[in-house]
Each structure stands twice: as structure tokens, then as C-alpha cells.
Chain A
Amino acid sequence: MSNDKNPISTVDQIPQTTPSFKGGVEPVGRVNETADSLINGPCFETKMERISDHEMLLNMGPQHPSTHGVLRVVLQLDGEVVTKAVPDLGYLHRGVEKLAEHRNYSQFIILTDRDDYLCAMLNNWAYCLAVEKLMKVEIPGRADYLRVISGELNRIASHLLFIGTFGIDIGAFTPFLYAFGREREMILDLFEQLCGARITYNYVRIGGVSNDLPDGWVEKAKSFIVHMRECLKEYDDLLSYNPIFMDRTKGVGVLSKEKAIAYGITGPNLRASGVNLDLRLQAPYGVYSKFSFDPVVRTNGDCWDRYMVRRDEIAQSCQILDQALGDLPAGDIMGKVPKANLRPPVGESYAQLEGARGWLGVYLVSDGTANPYRLHVRAPSFVNLAVLQETLTGWKVADVVAILGSIDIVLGEVDR
């Protein structure tokens, strides 16, 4: 590589000034004087730090196994009780919204996979919905069904991972081996046959989906659903009604209906707090209006309810899959969309769908060129996590893990 392209060859030569800075407010430096500012300060070691006669500071994360990735929570403790919790994010920030501005509309789909990597199908789908809304594209019926089928299977896969890891958070290792290692693998195998990928699918495309079902796939999916329903009973015996698990989660981290709505919490976390709000039912997109399924709502808003809502949603997704696989129409899988040089009209659109963690929305502004002018992802994990700073106060250190686990975040989506 020639040195002309990269004029900087050593670390010392990095310019110390900030030439890009124009207007706005100057970023402020750190002050480390009081206990409050210490929490905002750069103390990264996971160790106890005494900050007054009776209070201590504990760094949880960013490499803590129960933070599900790289979340750092600074806990101010009085004995074992949390008096203040400050989440610190951004360790996985990749600037997806900026990257979108330098890619064309089709190229960006693969980056949506990396947002919420446990539920990539729904990410693809949310982005494609926004582009389709802007271009006013009609998509064929079969593609809509395939989106529902792949999306619901992915929702089950995501909830299975939640059940497994939440069990580990509480101290039950065995359910993980079944939920994560057995049932989720079956779904990933189905996806591999469908689109060749197991985690990042790039399956939903603007105007339809990339591949039709291979031979025998519907039968395999149907037999998986039968298997999945039986497994739910197994999970109940192993985890859901396990007395120790219930002791650790019932009545812990209660989130009231009012607070949940104020914080903009959506998805399973909101439904666990007694709000019957599911976009698939109340504001159906795609072909969801054709299916009948029962809403899953619980009223206590504690960790156990948040767990049970997800457990019940697996059964709900099976119910939807039964119907979708049953009356899957024949036909095309791609609508009439130009393969290359996609230029939506000048304007903007917002599309959202019921993701596995809440409302997943994409706000898109087009200036008529081949690249999006601005793309904003309304990431459910990010919005849901904001409540953490308030919920943790007053609970013990062991409950922090249970509360954080029950909110079910994916750091790829929080930090984007």
C-alpha cells in the first residue's frame, strides 16, 4: 500500500485538533470530583470503590456475562442495595445510520442484519417496509406469507435464546442446553435451507424475498411446530414453575403500566405490564390481518411476567405459523422493483413492525438519489433500556441481573 493514500504512519502523527467541528456546543471534558461525577467518569475496572462512609461504587460490565454483550452499568451501592444505577452504552456503536448514507438502498439490507442479530429477519423486514412505503411498491401475496413465516420463526428463535440466557442469569443452566442448543438450532437449520445463512439472513428484499421455499421445507417446518409445542411443557417443568426461579423473579423489578408507557416501552415488556398492545393485532401490517391469534398480556409487570409473556408468545407464533403454512398461496416472490439503481421519490416514510423486543421502526428520508439521505432506526432495545436507570434503584445486586435479563436487550441494537 502506498503511503500517499494514508499519510499517517505512526500514532504520534494523528492530528490532535478536531477539524470537523463546526458550530454546535463544544464537548465538555470530564471532571472527577464528586461521587456523582465519578459515576460518569472513566473508571473501567470491575472493582469495588469506596466513595463515602457507607456507599460503594461497582462497575458491572462491559465484560460481564450477564450484561448480554457490552453494556456497562455503574452501580452505587449501600451495602447490597442499589441506590443509583447509571447505564453506559456505546461499546458496540458502529454508526449504522451514517453508514446507510453511503450505501444504496439494496446494500443497506445486510447492515440491518447486524442491528438485532438475534432477530435479523424482522430487521430486514422493517427496513424493506419503509422503502416499499416510500416507493409505493405492491409486493406479491406469497412473499408476504414468506415474510410472516420467516419472521415468526425468527421471533421464536429469539425468545428461545431469551429463555435460555435468562435461565443462566438466574442460575439455571440446563434449560439453555435445550432452548438454545436444540430447538433454536432446528430453526437455524430451517433458515439455512431457506436462504443459506443461519444468523444474518439478508432474506427479505425490497419488493419481496430472495428465495422461494425448497422442496419439503413446509413439512419440516410443520413438524418443528409440533415439536416446539411439546417442548414448551418441558420448559415449564424445567424453568417456568421452578420454585427457585419463581422466588428470584416473582415480584422483582416491577414496572408499572404508567411508567412503561412514559418510557416508550413496547413489545413483550409492555404487555407484561398489562397493556394489550401488539401491532400485529391493533395495526396489522403485511398479511397479519388474515390470521386470528390470541393476544398475550400479563398484569404484574415483574420479571416472571416478562418471562412468561415471551414463553406464551412462542405458542402464539406457532398459532400464526400453523395458519400461514396452511394457506400459503402460490405465485411470485418478488414484486416489480428495479434490480439496480433504485431511486425512490423525494420524500420520507416511517414504517414499524412488532419486533421480538418491541416496535422496530425505520424512518427514511430520500432526496431522490440512489442513497438514503437519512435513515433512523427506532431500536426497541435502546428505548426499553432507558427504564433501567430507574428500575434498578432499591433492588439488590443479585436482582440487577434478573431485571436486566428480563428486559431482553441486544447490544447490537442498543448501540447500532
Chain B
Amino acid sequence: MSVTNVLEILQKKVPEAVECQNLDVKFVRGTDPQIKVPSVRVGAVAGCLKEAGFDLLNFLTAVDYLKEERFELIYQFIKTSDPAFSVIVKTDLPRSGSPSLPSIVEFYAAADWQERETYDLFGITFVGHPNPRRILLWEGYPGWPLRKDYVHTLDKYDNGSEIGLP
């Protein structure tokens, strides 16, 4: 199976899907085929890939492109029958307001904790997630640490007096 096959299968359901290679040729992208889709269609893409035999969601994460005012979400799907071939699906989200996109937990249970992690560290909401809480940090933690404009709030440990430092 090649990237063109995957793209053909995807475009039947999601006609907006394009290959990333054509978007910015200067960008080094490794060897895995990458497909870009609009964020509202992520659920449809996940369902479609699951039908096409990509049964394992390997990882999902986000990147904060502060200058371009966008988040990029990255999903990697793998077939357990052929782990050497994988498909990376990317989607853009505007940074402003409250960024949100559909959850894919109904198709891949592996997304459960990884979506919570992405919410926890980036403040991106996954609509339809069964348990949309923070996972590594506690509820009420100030801000979203992996955003590029995150500013650390000083606490008692920054000063050192609490633990006896001069």
C-alpha cells in the first residue's frame, strides 16, 4: 500500500484531504506519507482509516506554531499486519479563542489518554471525549505548559526558602 492508495481511499469520504509533500517542499518530512485534512473532518478520517485496516493509533500530539497562529495536530496510524508502513494525518487549528476538534476515542481507545494529555498540555478541547479532564497536571493548573507563550508562575519552590536554600 502506498500513500496514493491511502489518499484515494480517504478522498472518497473526505475530498479535502491532500498530501503534505505538496504544501511546503522545503520542509523535511521523513519517510512516512503525510496527509493534511481540515480539523472538523478528523472523526471521519479516523473512521475511514479504521475501515481501511489501520487498526492501531500509534500516537497523537500537537505542535504550537505561535508565529503562524495555529496548532498542528499529528496522528499516526499503523497496520499491525505491516508496521513498517504508517500514515501520518495532520490538521490545523486556529490558536485564538478556544481551539477544539472532534475526538476519535470512539474509533481508537488509544486516543483516550493521549487526547487528555494533549488537552492538559495545550488546552485543545476534544469534542465528544468521554472523560475530558487533565491527566498529568491537576485541575486548576494555571495555563497550558506546552504552548509557546506559556509563562511559568512563580511558586514557593522557585525561591528555595521553603526547602532551606539561601
Contacts and interface: CB of A to CB of B under 8 A. Distances in A.
B142 A18 contact: yes
Interface stretch (B2-10, B11-19, B40-48, B78-86): B78-86
A378 B56 contact: no
A10 B84 CA distance: 55
Contacts of A283: 83-84
B163 interface: no
Contacts of A387: 109
Interface of B: 26-30, 32, 55-59, 61, 63-64, 74, 76, 80, 82-84, 88, 95-99, 108-110, 112-114, 117, 121-125, 133-147, 149-156, 158-162, 166
B135 to A, nearest CB: 6
A89 B135 contact: yes
Chain A contact residues: over half helix, strand or loop, or mixed? Answer: loop
A133 B30 contact: yes
A14 B28 CA distance: 44
Contacts of A1: 166
B109 A277 contact: no
Contacts of B124: 24
Contacts, number: 160
Contacts of A376: 59, 61
Interface string A262-302: 11101000000001010100110000000000000000000
Interface of A: 1, 6, 8-11, 14-15, 18-25, 27-30, 40, 89-90, 93, 95, 97-98, 133-134, 259, 261-264, 266, 275, 277, 279, 282-283, 345-350, 352, 359, 361, 363, 365-366, 373-374, 376, 378, 382-383, 385-387, 415-416
A15 B156 CA distance: 11
Contacts of B59: 264, 361, 363, 376, 378, 383
Nearest to B50: A262
Contacts of B28: 134, 345-349, 366
Name the 7 nearest CB pairs between A and B, nearest first. Answer: A347-B28, A264-B110, A24-B123, A18-B142, A283-B84, A20-B151, A20-B143
